[in-house]
Amino acid sequence: MSFFSRKQKISLEDYCRDFYDNQILNPIIKGVNFGTILPDYVIDKIDPLFAHVGKQKLTEELMILE
């Protein structure tokens, strides 16, 4: 019996924590951490008025929305 022929056991808490950390907080799309470029994209492409909020505050607020 090989390693891949049986299911690995994982706890629900570990699965949820991994999903939250990798898909919600730090989403990586095609090798790019989307969370780090989203604030710049919002300011440059969507609405330049978001620049008045401040990049750090905008980053925090966008993370909450995600």
Q: What residues in the chain have per-residue pLDDT under 70?
A: 1-3, 66
What is the reported pLDDT for 43?
Answer: 86
State if pTM tops 0.85: no
Which 3 state secondary structure label does DSSP give 47? coil
Q: Torsions phi, psi of 30, nearest 5? A: 50, 40
**Phi/psi of residue 17, nearest 5 degrees:** -65, -45
